[in-house]
Amino acid sequence: MDKNLVSNVIWALTGQVGYIFVGLVGTIFLGRILTPEDFGLVGIGMFFVGIFNVLVESGMAGALVRKEGVTKEDYSTIFIFNLIVSIFLGLLLVIAAPFIASFYEQKSLEPILIVLSLIIIINAFTITQNAKLVKNMKFKKRGLYKFSSLFCAVIISVILAKTGAGAWAIVAMQLMSSFFLMIILWVKEGGIGAFVFSKKSFKEMASFGFFTTLSAILNAAFDNIYQLILGKYFSISHVGYYYQAKKIQEAPDTAYKLVILQVFYSHLSKFQNKLSDFKVTYNLLAKLCAIVLGLTTCLVFIFAEEIIRVVLGEKWIDSIFYLRVLMISSFFTLQEMVNRNVFKIFNQTHKILYLELFKKSVQALSILIGIIYKDVILLLYGLIITSIISYFINFYFSRKVIDEVSKNELFNFLKIVFSSVMSTLLTYFLILYFNLDSYVKLVILPVFVILYFVLLSILNVQKLSTMLKYKTLLKK
């Protein structure tokens, strides 16, 4: 690892923290003005937008980042493809809008879906510019662009909410955020430079993008399918509680995804022809991710009630359960993403699809059980179980790609999980023993952090040599 990686991680996180902060401020204001039903309606609409956005991107951005010697022709080809697909899918959502609204017996959902369809087309104008920024590791600029666009969108959204716009205030935030980002990228980074479509270029990158796209579609669909199920088999307010909990969970989640899927991926791609260097760097990053994610997950789990009360207010208390479940599931899912970098870097993306198909089969079964028993707890616990199973399977097959299934690495991961669980249980014991209520619990925070790292040390997760590597890295 070099100082360039550390610098990009810091800038990527700094930009993302600013972006997340603005998003949370917007969530705080909107959550106190609007109702769970308002968020529920938009949550259903954003499910379809999310799926179609994956189809528009089609894994081509990742192909551009990975490819060596990318030309203007490559960027132009991908832009044209993205634009054509986005227009088709945008129109498809408009046509489907009345049928979706009828299915949920929510007439007001139809115009919301029609307006949200514009996001699909707008996002097509940002994919190539984003790919350039990621490929060139210009995360500082990218973070500033995202921060600025969301900041403007949040201001507009809050003003609309205060004037009684209801769900349309949330729609405005989603739409304007994409629109402002598109304008900034085209003004600051320029256009595509050419307007040509190369069949040769498309074929080269389509082979990479095909499997990652199918996998991403499955992932996006099942990741957000709970919004559809809760809205159909439970209530729109349940969708609102879930949607808001997911927004809070996505705050740290999005920051980590940015580092794992873009910074780490871009950095590790440089070692694709140096297997021994790749293994050393990759194993160090994987362990560091597990430690940091374990700490974050436990902190949010312990203080979930306080987070919901501060960010959203008393009327959103039902979101606590969803937030805790989503954080546990996210811990394993993010580890899984670290593993999947191996498949992408060594061009074995077909394995991502196969593993995703298996994962979704397990998840579909858990969802079916939740629907049959009409039990929200069963439904969401199935998500956790699926994430755990999927992580271990991805771990095994990703290590087979680099010819190294290390038991020691797996044991280290299990030790980190054990340290997370035990430190959380001990912290809860102290909270109950001293009868710490509400925000008084915050005094226990440093105790939890100390317990966590003491357990990691006792279990010998971090050897002295590894600690010195981190220290050297930070000095750089």
Over 50: is that where the pLDDT of 473 sits?
no
Q: Which phi and psi angles does 212 have, rounded to 5°?
A: -65, -30
Residue 435's pLDDT is 84
Residue 262's pLDDT is 67
Residue 241 pLDDT class (50, 70, 90 cuts) = very high
Give the residue-averaged pLDDT of 105-133: 90
DSSP line for 45-111:
HHHHHHHHHHHHHTTHHHHHHH-SS--HHHHHHHHHHHHHHHHHHHHHHHHHHHHHHHHTT-TTHHH
Tell whether the torsion through CA atoms of 416, 418, 419 and 421 is positive or negative: positive
Of the candidates 58, 62, 64, 63, the residue with the CA atom closest to the CA atom of residue 82: 58
**pTM (2 d.p.):** 0.79
Q: Return the top range by mean pLDDT from 72-76, 101-105, 135-139, 294-298.
A: 294-298
Over 50: is that where the pLDDT of 360 sits?
yes
Range in 83-92, 139-148, 151-160 with the lowest mean pLDDT: 139-148
Give the residue-averaged pLDDT of 272-292: 81
**For 190-221, b where at least 16 C-beta lie within 10 A, e where not — what string?**
eebeeeeebeebbeebbebbbbbbbbbbbbbb
Rounded to whole angstroms, the Cα distance separating 15 from 141 reads 8
Residue 320 pLDDT class (50, 70, 90 cuts) = very high
Range in 98-102, 277-281, 470-474 with the lowest mean pLDDT: 470-474
Rounded to whole angstroms, the Cα distance separating 279 from 338 reads 13
Burial (0-12, 13-18, 19+ Cβ within 10 Å), 155: middle
Residue 393 pLDDT class (50, 70, 90 cuts) = very high
Give the residue-averaged pLDDT of 194-209: 74
Over 90: is that where the pLDDT of 436 sits?
no
More confident residue, 440 or 288: 288
Over 70: is that where the pLDDT of 16 sits?
no
- For 448, residues 6+ apart whose C-beta sits below 8 A from its C-beta are 298, 299, 302, 423, 424, 427
Residue 476's pLDDT is 41
Write down the domain spans for the chain: 3-405
Over 50: is that where the pLDDT of 148 sits?
yes
Q: Which phi and psi angles does 58 have, rounded to 5°?
A: 55, 30
Rounded to whole angstroms, the Cα distance separating 475 from 469 reads 10
More confident residue, 278 or 235: 235
Over 60: is that where the pLDDT of 474 sits?
no
Give the residue-averaged pLDDT of 218-246: 86
Range in 23-27, 132-136, 371-375, 472-476 with the lowest mean pLDDT: 472-476
